[in-house]
Every structure is written in C-alpha cells, then in structure tokens.
Amino acid sequence: MPAVSKKQQKFFGIVRAIQKGEMAPTTPETAKAAEDMKKGDVKKFASTKHKGLPEKKKIEEDRQIKKIVKQLRKSVKSHAKQADTLEKKIEEQISFPQMQERIRNAKEKRREQQKKSEKLYMDTKKKGVKFYDKKGVGRLKDGKKVYD
C-alpha cells in the first residue's frame, strides 16, 4: 500500500529506520507504529516515490462538514442560505481578530448612518421639507413655500 502524501511517506521512513535499529524513536507515535506494524507494510509505505504526492492530505473533517452541508441542502430547502454561509465560512476561515474588526466596522457604519438620519430629521423639523420647482429651491414650512 503506497503512501498518500509526502508527510506520510516521511513518517514511515522514520518508523522503518526505528525498526531496523538505525534510529531511536523520536515521538511516542513513531515508537508505537514501529511496534505495531509489520516490517513489510512499513517498507511499502516508506518506499513510495514523492513525485505527484501532495505535501499533506486534506483533513477528513472538511469532507465530513461538506457532506453535512450537502445533506442539509437536500433535506431542508429553506436552510440553503445558512448552508451557503457555513460553506463560505469553512472556505474563508476568518480569524477571530478579523471577525472582531468586521464587527467594529459594521457598528461604526451603523452609527454614522444613524447620525446622518438624525441630522436630516432635525434639519427637516427645524427648517421644513426641502423642495425643487421651476422657480428654484426652497422649503415647505407650515404648509407654505419659502424660497431660499
């Protein structure tokens, strides 16, 4: 059985060296693998060529999450948007500080919008509603047109 990644091949190279007695165990995992596995199996893994192998194999958890997302889409159509969001988050994997910064920016933007809205409301309340017609620009105050 050949190795599926460069890291796996390197690991079994270390295990093989331990089994041959050329090297002392470096970690508990290598020692356990050297004890438990047959020399022939270890040799097959260790002798795999690097060409065409990925550095590290994709994590099985990512596949399971994507599988769950697919099942979610199939079973409940109304949750498709949530599934898309979850899938995007998996792909983006935003760090916590980035997420905090996004939240701060969103809050700041909302405050600015509120200030703008409040300013417009107060301007309309004090001076009247702004209008534009053939004669020019003005405001409606107490039901009468007042030109600027």
Domain boundaries, the chain: 6-46, 60-92, 96-148
**In order along the chain (148 residues), what is the average pLDDT of each group of 10 residues?**
74 87 84 82 78 67 66 63 73 74 93 93 86 89 86
Which runs of consecutive H residues, i.e. helices, occur in 21-95? 28-36, 39-46, 60-75, 80-92
Please write down the long-range contacts of 53-59, taking CB distance under 8 Å and 24 or more positions apart. 53/3, 53/4, 53/5, 53/6, 53/9, 54/4, 54/5, 54/6, 55/5, 55/6, 55/7, 56/5, 56/6, 56/7, 57/4, 57/5, 57/7, 57/8
Tokens found for residue 115: 């200030």
Question: What is residue 115's predicted lDDT score, i.e. its pLDDT?
Answer: 94
Please give the Cα distance from 39 to 89 (Å, whole number).
43
Q: Degrees (nearest 5) of the Cα angle 104, 106, 107? A: 65
